Structure 1
Amino acid sequence: MRLILNVIWLIFGGLWLALGYVLAALICFVLIITIPFGFAALRIALYALWPFGRTIVDKPGVRPGALVGNIIWLIVAGVWLAIGHILTAVAMAITIVGIPLALANLKLIPVSLMPLGKEIVPLDSGRDAAQTAFGVTR
């Protein structure tokens, strides 16, 4: 099922969203001082291409640099990328088949606003990390 959703996602919006992240990454690479933002944008671009079966988790530890970087990212690119996700989610939610795709778009909004200090992992790893964090064992 994930494969089918990923293929539909790629055709009906994932490619365009990923290209938006790649454009943001290229701009960040050109400005040199924002190279870390460029790498974060490329990570999200790969996630935007194939989102089903993966999830976003916080990297462990306190990251004060990530907080400052996220604030800068939010002002420069995050708001525009989040607006793109919202518009795409609304367009996808028009049909019943598009509702899971719209939900995936909404899932991408937090990481598009604050990408630093986040990690994209396979879905099973995310569950394991969440269970470990809350003390739940299998």
Structure 2
Amino acid sequence: MGCFGNILWFICGGFVSGLGWCAAGCLWCITIVGIPVGLQCFKFASLSFWPFGKEVRYGGGAGSMLLNIIWLIVTGLPMAAGSALMGALLCVTIVGIPFGLQHFKIAKLALMPFGSEIF
């Protein structure tokens, strides 16, 4: 299911979403101050391209917590709300449930990207 789900996800919007996150990451990495945000955009891009079969592990210390709070205020809440809404809409149908669960995974990562790792 993972391979088929990734292919279907990639064709139905994952490619465009991943490219958007890559472009945002490149723009953020132009400035030295924006490099941490750019790296998080690349983390979202890797998950946006192929979300099935990937696991997100959360961790980090006080520095990541501080950056997560700033991220949450500036970018995280709208991003998480959008992914959660898409996940809820997709979970209305039985066929959309696996895709909705992937949106919930992205929404959770949108709340706390600093200190997390994608495996």
**Match of residue 25 from structure 2:** 25
1:1-138 alignment to 2 at 5 Å? 1-59=1-59, 63-121=61-119
CA distance in 2, matches of 1:110, 1:56: 9
Distance 1:91 1:31, change over 3 A: farther
CA distance in 2, matches of 1:100, 1:3: 13
- TM-superposed CA distance for 1:91, in Å, is 3.8
TM-score normalised according to structure 2 size = 0.83
TM-score normalised according to structure 1 size = 0.73
The one-letter code sitting in structure 2 at the alignment partner of 1:56 is V
Contact 1:17 1:85 (8 Å CA) reproduced: no
Larger radius of gyration: 1
Contact 1:17 1:84 (8 Å CA) reproduced: no
Contact 1:13 1:88 (8 Å CA) reproduced: no
Instruction: State how many pairs are aligned.
Output: 119
Gaps of 5+ in 2: none
CA distance in 2, matches of 1:83, 1:27: 23
Contact 1:41 1:115 (8 Å CA) reproduced: no
CA distance in 2, matches of 1:109, 1:4: 22
Percentage of identical aligned residues:
37
Distance 1:75 1:26, change over 3 A: farther
**Match of residue 130 from structure 1:** none
Where 2:33 maps in the other structure, the secondary structure is: coil
- TM-superposed CA distance for 1:20, in Å, is 4.5
Decide which moves more: 12-21 or 79-88: 12-21
